[in-house]
Amino acid sequence: MRNILLLIIFTISGFAFSQNTGSVSGNIQDSQGNPLPGATVQISDLNIGVVSDFNGDFMLEDVPEGDHTITISFMGYKTTDNTVTVVAGQSVVSNVTLTEDENILGEVVVTAGKKPQKITEVPATIEVISAQEISEFPSFNIGELAARQKGVDFVRTGVLGTGVNIRGFNSAFNSKNLQLTDDRVSMLIATGLPYGSFSTIIKDDVERVEILLGPNGTLYGPNAHNGLVSTITKNPRTSEGTTMAFGAGNQNVISGRLRHAQVINDKWAYKVHFERTAGTDFRYNDSVYVGTTAYKEHNLDRDFDALKYGGSVYFRPSKASEITAYYGHSNNTNLAVTNAGRNQIKDWTIDVAQLKYVSKHFFANAYYTWSNTDDTYAINQRTQNYVSFIENGFSEKESWERALYEQWVPSLGIAIPRGALFKDASERFNGEAQYNNNWGKFHLTVGAQYQLDMANSDGTYLLDQDGPIEIAQTGFYGQFEYKLDSGWNFLAGLRADNHELYGTNLLPKAAITKTVKNGTFRLTYGKGMAVPSILNLKGNLFGGLVLGNGEGFTLTDGTKIDALEVETINSFELGFKGKIADKLFIDASAYYNMSEDFISPLRNIADAANGNYVTHIGDQPIDEVSPGASASPALLTYSNFGSVDTYGFDLGLNYYISDAVRTSLNYSYFGRSLDTDDLDNDGNLDGIVLESELPINTPENKLSLGVHYGGKKLYGSIFGRWVQDYNFFSGINVASETQDMDGDGVNEIVENSRVGRTWNYGPLGGFTVDANLGYNLNENISLGVNVTNIFDAGVREFVASPEIGRLISFELKYNINFFKKKQ
């Protein structure tokens, strides 16, 4: 009876409460009367908010009666505060007209704290590529827009291949920057590399890209080490309609895209997308050395082809919650740079299925990823194998077929294992649950994440002859914020991350921000970690020429190479984002990082010239683990360095000449200090630590300058980028000035000559100018052109890659909303 009475009391109380609430609705337009879909509408003191739909309409429900301040913000427009009086049981209408504003400080981001925040309030350096920038960029490859962000090292390996690095220590296999898409990890399972062209989404479905500089491991876990790149796609409720795009350019590029989004009713909505892009990469043939003789990459296929499709269904079980089901697929054929030469990617597919629940205080996410290829191979190794057969009397057909698996040794009269084929049937499961709430000035976010990697190469490039390699990780995190009316904001966070191989690691985070009239100062501390990838631990490439270091090694002379440990980084940052003069805005930050157990690029640990070979992996003889590896004249693997400190400064300036014209300047400096007394930093194991033994693979100085015009009909930009020449070492790849690497007075590295198994064309870097121009023919049709490297400067941006020549792309886009309400 008591329970029944309590139920009645709670029911009556809930009914009474509902009678003390009302709603706020309205429409958001620009000064020309055009609706603004996706504008953020918030009542901060109640911690509730929505975004406007395709027609600019919004509704806030269950708002307690009384006076409330509604904040409306939208990229590129002045943030507006409206005070409304809510009457119980009634709906108050508050229509809003936003005016364009050069003030970029009202922008709202979501990645840094896993919740909407004004960009000035975020305790981190964050760059944003907006939907408008993406829409007005007439190229299929929006990765190019990363080149326009401060603090980001952008590289290009060809027509299709682009990549980013953040704050140092780049390599051809860079897995220290975590990449996400709609809360999904977008990194390959076995290698830990970013998807890049393997992504399952298309340009027209991207709402924004948020790039966080520095460690972000507290909320996101391992490998958000140097930074985080988060791509957020559009919700059909705020982007209803159909987009069709056709693109073409030099290098035989042709691209077609389709996106359709529709709201069925208050409960259901959906979107679908499709893309097909094909072309031919720049003419370039990397040198393949057999002894001292150079050969061209055999049977090189420069044609690339990318197919993507997918869709999402959105269901609202209540007015304040939403369930999303997503499936995406991509199929890729292209050239890819590795630290052992280039790979010929053949029909590599990625499939992703996701189910996500979002409400005011709860978030739950689960998704499964499948990766598959059967015909991808390493061009360098297969070419070497082919040469060994063809020069010893074998037929063209037999030589090329056997070159996938073995190499002929004429002195022995036999073939030895030197596999060049890469198969992949890896899978990954991820799950996450999160709770967030606020009580006055106190904000809380807690959550848990789980990841299970199931790497499967069918014995081709991993030590997985006994079946898939399974590694599980679990993380628990909490973050607390306390905001004062005086503008002070205090943040503390902690993550406990348990790795199946490395136990539990703690990742703390702390920040203090102070908001003043024209901006916000921030002081932050964060710890990040980079967990060795499965390839780092269990790699077995080319018959043991490259081996992962999950067990450690023993050499003939008894030297021990320890197994890989987790790399950690402690980072301190001081910054300010705000307005320093009329129409002039600044975002500046200085940082200092302290890294421990830095995971090296591939390096040789054998010394065949002195008879010092690798004899054991862990406690097992090496030939029992990788048959034939003991006979390798070199053995490349990964190891931990000791301590290295890095530091830098990022500066971004934006000046608004008028509402339509903006200029931008970005500058970045990066430096490092190596502990030469720490023998763990002895890269070549000769007992002496030199500065050259830990390459930072990062330019010391970068500078860019842009002019952007955004009219109602005409829009465009011109962008110049200078990257100071810098040396780059990754595996067999060398791009360096002439230098003495070991201090013996002899130049081991000579520019424009052979170095080891590659040709050294000299340092990377240079100056390029890009431009894009677009015109809206009417409200449905736009036409644009983009030119990368206008002056066709001979700039090489990455190792094992061609000089990037002029790229021209045209795009015709048609947008229509069949469902737009009649005015």
Q: How far apart are CA 815 and CA 823, in angstroms?
A: 19
Average pLDDT over residues 236-248: 92
Closest C-alpha among 118, 170, 160 to residue 139: 160
Sign of CA pseudo-dihedral 634, 636, 642, 645? positive
Q: What is residue 30's three-state secondary structure?
A: strand
Higher pLDDT, 38 or 330: 330
The pLDDT-based confidence of 75 (bands split at 50, 70, 90) is low
Quote the CA–CA distance of 396 and 755 in Å, as a whole number: 29
Nearest to 479 by CA among 520, 437, 531: 437
Other CB atoms closer than 10 Å to residue 817's CB: what's the count?
18
- 4 pLDDT tier (thresholds 50, 70, 90): very low
Question: Between residues 377 and 44, which one has the greater pLDDT?
Answer: 377
**Among 196-205, 242-251, 385-394, 813-822, whose mean pLDDT is lowest?**
813-822
808: which 2 tokens? 């021209």
Using one digit for the tens of pLDDT, what is the confidence trace for 490-503? Answer: 999 999 999 999 99
Let me know if the fold of 2-101 is the same as that of 125-531+566-602+638-816: no
pLDDT band at residue 10 under the 50/70/90 scheme: very low
The predicted pLDDT at position 498 comes to 93
Residue 422 near residue 376, CB atoms below 8 Å: yes
d(CA 312, CA 239): 13
Domain boundaries along the sequence of the chain: 2-101, 125-531+566-602+638-816
pLDDT at 301 over 60: yes
- What is the predicted pLDDT for the residue at 677? 78
Mean pLDDT, the chain, as a whole number? 87
- The answer, yes or no, to whether residue 18 has pLDDT greater than 50, is no
List the CATH code of the domain at 125-531+566-602+638-816: 2.40.170.20
Please give the backbone phi and psi of residue 557, each rounded to the nearest 5 degrees, phi first: -85, 5
pLDDT in tens, 82-131: 888 888 888 888 888 887 654 444 455 555 555 555 555 566 778 888 88
State the pLDDT at residue 202: 95
* Beta-carbon contacts of residue 112 (< 8 Å; ≥ 6 apart): 122, 123, 124, 126, 210, 212, 216
Residue 32 pLDDT > 70: no
Residues 6+ apart with CB under 8 A from 254: 247, 248, 277, 278, 279
Among the residues of 421-520, which ranges form H helices?
none
Question: How many Å apart are CA 132 and CA 240, to the nearest integer?
Answer: 16
What pTM does this model have? Answer: 0.86
Q: Which residues contact 417 (CB under 8 A, 6 or more apart)?
A: 405, 406, 543, 544, 627, 628
How many whole angstroms separate alpha carbon 377 and alpha carbon 422? 5
Helix (H, G, I), strand (E, B) or coil at 693: helix
- Tens digits of residue pLDDT in 594-612: 989 988 877 888 877 778 8
Six token digits for residue 45: 């003191």
Question: Rg of the chain over CA atoms, in angstroms?
Answer: 28
> Structure tokens of 167?
């704050």
Q: What burial class does residue 17 get, using C-beta atoms within 10 Å of its C-beta: 0-12 exposed, 13-18 middle, 19+ buried?
A: exposed
pLDDT in tens, 253-299: 999 999 999 999 989 999 999 999 999 999 999 989 998 899 999 99
Q: Say which residues have a Cβ less than 8 Å from residue 137's Cβ, sequence separation at least 6.
A: 144, 145, 772, 784, 786
Q: CA 216, CA 630: separation in Å to the nearest integer?
A: 41
**Fold held by 2-101:** Immunoglobulin-like (2.60.40)
